[in-house]
Structure 1
Amino acid sequence: MYSKIAFSNVKKSIRDYTIYFLTLTFGICLFYMFNSVQAQQAVLKLNASQKSMMHLMSVIINGISVFVAIILGFLIVYANQFLMKRRHKEMGIYLLLGMEKRQVSKILLIETLLIGVLALIAGLVSGVFLSQGLAMLTAKMFAVQMKEFKFIFSQTAFIQTILYFAIIFIIVMIFNGITISKYKLINLLNSAKKNQKTRLKNPILSVILFLISIGILGIAYHLIQKNQMLAVDNDFKISVLLGVAGTFLFFFSLSGFLLELAKRSKKFYYNGLNMFVLRQINSKITTTFVSMSMLCLMLFLAISAFATGSGLASSVKTDLEDMTKFDCTFYGLSEKGYQEEQQQKFIKKLDDLGLTIKKDAKEILPITIYQNGTFRKCRYKMEPLLKGREKYSDYTKDYVKKIYETPLTFAKLSEYNKIRKAIGEKELTLKSDEYILNCDYGNLIPIMEKAASDKQKLTLDGKTYKMKYGLQKDTYMVTAAKTDMGTVILNDEIIQSLKIDHSTLYLNLNWKGNAQKVSRKYTEYLKQMIINSKMPNSPYSAIISKEEVYEQSTGLSTIITYIAIYIGLVFLITCAAVLALQQLSENADNIEKYKLLSKIGTSQKMINHAIKAQIILYFCLPLSLALVHSYVGIKTAKILISTLGQINITQAAVQSLILVIVIYIGYMIATYLGSKSMLKEK
């Protein structure tokens, strides 16, 4: 009997469950898709490095999935409470007819189980099929081919999805049972007649608190822009706390402020059903300002994840050509000052071990970067190049001042010219009192260009040198990121006269024949030699090849993109679903009010327009503040991201906004249609 009632209730309330069911299905589908990434290796032609990146991505996504499951769990519990509230009168009638609370609980348990099983089946089926497309996307992002078309099914992801959501639904069932046990018959029958309490009745106080919230948010924005997300210091911590506090205070005072503002324009306030809509919004926001604030912050995180994630992914791939001008580079650090003979000793050692580097390479291009001391304890500092030019960088003035103490690095003109010749650039010449400035670090390039245009002079050990040529932006080794903040190139004999105690040695090579194959051979040999202590005093401790940089770049880009999409979509559908359910619940509670409007002569068209306006306004309020938060956050994050490469943050932000709007509009339409349907039924 209970099963029959439960099935009948689900069938009768199918429209009420539509948004809940579709959101559940979408969440389960996403959960399976992203947790099935590891299984894609079976159909993709991946090398060892790419397999390692895939494994890393799988581990990260599995970790994030725990967090995602918690978020979806809260969504399901929250949505379930709204659905129960919608059916208070129905449950009251069950009790009035003689049912016990445990019997009502049993009916709800069967309903929850039925909806959960159907959503789980629909989500898993959708996820299994859509994961095939995800495998193609992975292949494209890793720039690899698929071995052959093979239907991918991840048993691990399948079981994991069922397990996580089974636990969530068990918690929901327990929660429902506890909630029903606390209900009183009189409260259930009269729940629709209960008035919502107004927390803030004084309109003047609302306006004052609203202005205070704007001030708090302004301070938070100022502090985060000052901090630039470059350090977790007091400015960063305070900006986060003020941002959260300001958001809560904003929504706490917003409804009263909007109502007071609307009253100032009597023509607008008394036009049509504007007064009714504004009163409804005022009542709803006043009682749900906590959830509204949380949704705003989640939307901010979703938009920021989409924009910065896709922007960071694209920036990782930029400048790859500049960073891979050679087939591979051996590199190492030394604290022994000048190391003129180290390259030849290293090459000879390789020859002794059977690696004929001179035969394998068509070009051997060593370059050593010198410095004296470490940060704040160096003899030659970057201060002369930066001082007075702070405004030309995206960094704050205070942050640029911190870089003053960074050691200035040096390179020999002869080695630098060999590098330039190898990459097709013109060789440069210097007099004894001249120097060349090289910098490829994005956030400092504008400052260095200004220093070059000013012909900035440098004084080293009492001798003054003037700059020749404009700023050079060469990357003189194979690297995964541009890190040269400022290197001074001088004639060889001048370099020899400087007081040097630190060196970074690079040995660039261009191979004959199959460069990828040769690079891998030397990479494996060098690792084994170091592990087996066959080269204990080698000046080079590592090797990086062009192929590795490309693989790491594409792998890192894919990981960032997937994480951004995964987190962003989950947060976005959670926010949209909660807003939709809140509005459906609100409109269900207000059916008597709409009936009354109809009785006093209000046309159905005006009532529909009022419902539409209420839904749009309710959805857009948290989104509006989230967009402001996102603008400040993305603009600030751009500075941090740009250290990895150039980024078109505008394009990434626009793409993210389009996705948010599309999903948002979909949920608004579904909410409007659901509200109209409920009103029509009554």
Structure 2
Amino acid sequence: MMLAKLAFGNMRKLLHDYAVYFLTLVLGVALFYAFNTVNVQGDFLRGDVGEMLGAAGQILDGVTVFLAVVLGFLMVYANNFLMRRRKKELGLYQVLGMRTGQVTVVLALETLLVAAISFGVGIALGALLSQVLLFVTARMFETTVQHFSFFFSADAFLLTLRCFGVIFAVMMVFNWLTLRRVRLIELMGAARHNERQFVRKLPFAVVLTVAGLALVGVAYVRLTRDGFPTSGSAESQNDFLITTAMVIVGTFVLFYGLAGALTALITHLRGFYWRDLHMFTTRQIASRVNTTALSMGVISLILFLAMTAMTTGMSICGTINSMTRQGIPYSASISVTPAGDSTDAIDLEAEVAKAGIDLSEVGRHASVRVALIESELRGDTSAYQRMSQLTGESVPKGYEHVVICEAVGISDYNAMRSLLGLEPVSLEDGHYLMLCNMDNAKGFVDEALEQGFTLDVDGVTLSPARATVIDDASAVLQDSAGGPTPGTYVVPDDVAKSISPEYSAVININIMYKGSTEEGDAALKGLEAALASNLDGRAAMVGVQTATDVLADGTSTTGLISYMAIYIGFVLVIACAAILAIQQLSAASDASASYRTLSELGCSERLIFGSLRTQVAMAFVLPLAVGMAHSLCALGAIDELVSVLGYSDMIGDMTLGLGLFALVYGGYLALTYRMAHGIVRSAVRTTRRAL
């Protein structure tokens, strides 16, 4: 009973001094539970979204395990950090007659109490959060909540219990090992032991800092030049691994030398160094960075991962949404790829009528035959490579292996333009037009067209009819999620008909509904299955895509990406901010005697709290600055990679991700300063009352 009371009293004291630690555990439990209720959320959303969320739940299970490992590592580190700060207290228990086993029991009871309270409060908060998250999910997937009622997910509860049960068990083991391995005299003298200084000589610290910056800088140059490996070759993947290793090693080397380098720099600014409490502040910051160099390196890398996940997730969603909007200029598209060599054996309009659908009743429509140019499909060099040779310009990054082999006749193309309400275009014999609506490629192709890039189709040489590409809605030949196209040729009708049928062409019917979208979609329901049955053996592929279906698929994809990006980012940022907060609160508590001495010497509270504010801010800003630098470099490469898809607005799309990041990280920074302020104020004002 006595041990239980002691454990409970210790927990109350720690809850007051390190409330941010308990807050992080509660938030971690709440987020783990809330985000893993995705399977249950699907029951309140429309059928297709519910099915997609059910499949996404399996992915989130794996993500949750990964995040549990990362969060567990950081929480165990935080727990060990607190244990080091409590060594004198634990030694005092033994001096007062408690056996090592009894102290171990006290620590175990403390951990169990922390686990029970944080888990219980976290689950309660998570249950409320999951109700709100349901409506956020509905907004992400552009649907509505149906028949809402309060829900609780047993699966999410058990998954969260398993993850945090392991974390708390590991904490207990580490607490026991810490107590068992340390002698009593070390426990009692822990308060007089200085933290280990990793770098003692300032010149060596400067060398380390320069070396770290050099490694990181070279890695940035390599990533900017080479980008992410997209070719799949072993060489590009090895280069990327080397770049990654340079960033990681450079980050740790930088933090190991940073404290000494900052001290050397500021001490040379004598007018600044000797004014107010700048000397004290500099030494305090240097001591803290030296003490936590390893953890700061880890935190900066995890912050880099969190920022990149949140901002990249939002950017990719913006790209996919843009692609989806570009890819659905028609109300619906019906397509068939004939089997065998004959491309004229299938009359798609007749087959649709045979399936019981009168297209004239559904809306206006136009047929288009998309032929494949064998010489372009099988050639040694692609059109983009030949354009590069002609103009001397490099092929846009990511387009090195793009093949442009599709061609449509001018009559079919003008029929599509008419369907879209666009003016027809003319094309003389011996010429061709180029369709291209990918932002990254249009300028490159325009330059080639201006210089007279020629096209050979079965021995017929065609020259460009205009010096610019056509990039309006007619560049999309059928509704699909992959709207942007790197290029399609529009050729004279006789050339289109003469293209060898060795590679089967695609026959499309594009439709613009004359009635409502719901009526049009309903009229085409079941058509794909009917066509596949009627064309069995004659068609290699049959598809019916409505703009509604394409938009729903795109929305589901972006919703899932946003969901995971926010989940990963929130958990990682909370974990990192919690570690920094605990370190600063511990440091403020340890330095309370120094602040008391400053106060006794007549130093004003304004200077004391200004010094404290600078120390806390620098502790949060230093790893954030390094992580942000890594993230900005990576985002540049990611933006280049994403823009290959046809569109990217990294700045516009990352706003929400950065806002969420700033809210969480800034909130922890403000909370940490307020709690550290209270610790220092108590020490300073207690002294003044004594005087």
In the superposition, the TM-score normalised over structure 1's length comes to: 0.91
| Aligned position for 2:687 | none
Q: Which moved more, 1:54-63 or 1:64-73?
A: 54-63
Aligned match for 2:383, one of 368, 381, 384: 381
Instruction: Quote how far apart the aligned CAs of 1:623 are.
Output: 0.7
Contact 2:29 2:119 in 1 (8 A): yes
Q: Specify the code of the residue in structure 2 equivalent to 1:583.
A: Q
- Partners of 1:336 and 1:358 in 2: how far apart? 30
| Aligned position for 1:155 | 154
Q: Which moved more, 1:166-175 or 1:517-526?
A: 517-526
- Partners of 1:376 and 1:201 in 2: how far apart? 65
| Aligned position for 1:294 | 298
For structure 1, which runs of at least 5 residues remain unmatched after alignment?
none
Matching of residues 387-406 of structure 1 within 5 Å? 387=389, 395-396=396-397, 400=399, 402-403=400-401, 406=403
- Partners of 2:227 and 2:420 in 1: how far apart? 36
Q: Which moved more, 1:222-231 or 1:57-66?
A: 222-231
Distance 1:463-1:502 versus aligned 2 partners, 3 A rule: same
| Aligned position for 2:469 | 471
- Partners of 1:259 and 1:652 in 2: how far apart? 39
Contact 1:443 1:639 in 2 (8 A): no
- Partners of 2:218 and 2:337 in 1: how far apart? 44
Matching of residues 249-648 of structure 1 within 5 Å? 249-331=253-335, 339-344=342-347, 346=348, 348=350, 362-372=364-374, 377=379, 381-387=383-389, 395-396=396-397, 400=399, 402-403=400-401, 406-454=403-451, 456-458=453-455, 461=459, 463-468=461-466, 470-473=468-471, 474-498=475-499, 501-510=502-511, 514-526=519-531, 529=533, 535-648=536-649
1:97-127 superposed Cα distances (whole Å, 9 cap, x missing partner): 0101111111121122112211112111111
Contact 2:355 2:530 in 1 (8 A): no
Contact 2:36 2:156 in 1 (8 A): yes
Q: Specify the code of the residue in structure 1 equivalent to 2:367.
A: L
- Partners of 1:237 and 1:359 in 2: how far apart? 58
1:553-579 superposed Cα distances (whole Å, 9 cap, x missing partner): 110011000100000011111111111
- Partners of 1:570 and 1:153 in 2: how far apart? 21
Q: Specify the code of the residue in structure 2 equivalent to 1:341.
A: D
Contact 1:505 1:539 in 2 (8 A): no
- Partners of 1:122 and 1:384 in 2: how far apart? 65
Matching of residues 76-87 of structure 1 within 5 Å? 76-87=75-86
Instruction: Quote how far apart the aligned CAs of 1:499 are.
Output: 5.2
Instruction: Quote how far apart the aligned CAs of 1:475 are.
Output: 0.7
Q: Specify the code of the residue in structure 2 equivalent to 1:64.
A: V
Contact 1:221 1:632 in 2 (8 A): yes
Instruction: Quote how far apart the aligned CAs of 1:591 are.
Output: 2.8
- Partners of 1:573 and 1:15 in 2: how far apart? 19
Contact 2:484 2:646 in 1 (8 A): no
SS at match of 2:128: helix
| Aligned position for 1:238 | 242
- Partners of 2:250 and 2:34 in 1: how far apart? 37
Q: Is 2:128 the counterpart of 1:126?
A: no
Instruction: Quote how far apart the aligned CAs of 1:621 are.
Output: 0.5
Cα RMSD for the two superposed structures = 2.6
SS at match of 1:507: strand
Contact 2:309 2:565 in 1 (8 A): yes
- Partners of 2:97 and 2:310 in 1: how far apart? 53
- Partners of 1:457 and 1:374 in 2: how far apart? 12
Instruction: Quote how far apart the aligned CAs of 1:225 are.
Output: 1.7
Q: Specify the code of the residue in structure 2 equivalent to 1:525.
A: A
1:22-80 superposed Cα distances (whole Å, 9 cap, x missing partner): 11111111111110011112222x13x32332122222111101111112212221121
Distance 1:322-1:38 versus aligned 2 partners, 3 A rule: same
SS at match of 2:564: helix
- Partners of 1:593 and 1:433 in 2: how far apart? 88
Contact 1:437 1:486 in 2 (8 A): yes
Q: Which moved more, 1:228-237 or 1:634-643?
A: 228-237
- Partners of 2:141 and 2:16 in 1: how far apart? 43
Distance 1:464-1:8 versus aligned 2 partners, 3 A rule: closer
- Partners of 1:644 and 1:295 in 2: how far apart? 33
1:105-152 superposed Cα distances (whole Å, 9 cap, x missing partner): 111211221122111121111111121111112222222222233112
- Partners of 1:261 and 1:504 in 2: how far apart? 69
Distance 1:441-1:105 versus aligned 2 partners, 3 A rule: same
Q: Which moved more, 1:295-304 or 1:348-357?
A: 348-357
- Partners of 1:596 and 1:334 in 2: how far apart? 88
Instruction: Quote how far apart the aligned CAs of 1:497 are.
Output: 4.2
Q: Specify the code of the residue in structure 1 equivalent to 2:312.
A: T
Distance 1:416-1:406 versus aligned 2 partners, 3 A rule: same
1:625-649 superposed Cα distances (whole Å, 9 cap, x missing partner): 1111111111211122234453321
Instruction: Quote how far apart the aligned CAs of 1:495 are.
Output: 2.9
- Partners of 2:256 and 2:531 in 1: how far apart? 63
Instruction: Quote how far apart the aligned CAs of 1:240 are.
Output: 1.1
Q: Is 2:179 the counterpart of 1:180?
A: yes
Contact 1:230 1:640 in 2 (8 A): no
Instruction: Quote how far apart the aligned CAs of 1:220 are.
Output: 1.0
- Partners of 1:300 and 1:333 in 2: how far apart? 46
Distance 1:208-1:181 versus aligned 2 partners, 3 A rule: closer
- Partners of 1:250 and 1:95 in 2: how far apart? 41
Contact 1:362 1:512 in 2 (8 A): yes
Q: Specify the code of the residue in structure 2 equivalent to 1:313.
A: C
Contact 2:223 2:637 in 1 (8 A): yes
Instruction: Quote how far apart the aligned CAs of 1:218 are.
Output: 1.8
1:275-327 superposed Cα distances (whole Å, 9 cap, x missing partner): 22222222222232221111111111111111111111122112434311233
| Aligned position for 1:167 | 166
| Aligned position for 1:68 | 67
Q: Specify the code of the residue in structure 2 equivalent to 1:640.
A: L
Distance 1:502-1:441 versus aligned 2 partners, 3 A rule: farther
Matching of residues 665-680 of structure 1 within 5 Å? 665-680=666-681
Contact 1:25 1:123 in 2 (8 A): yes
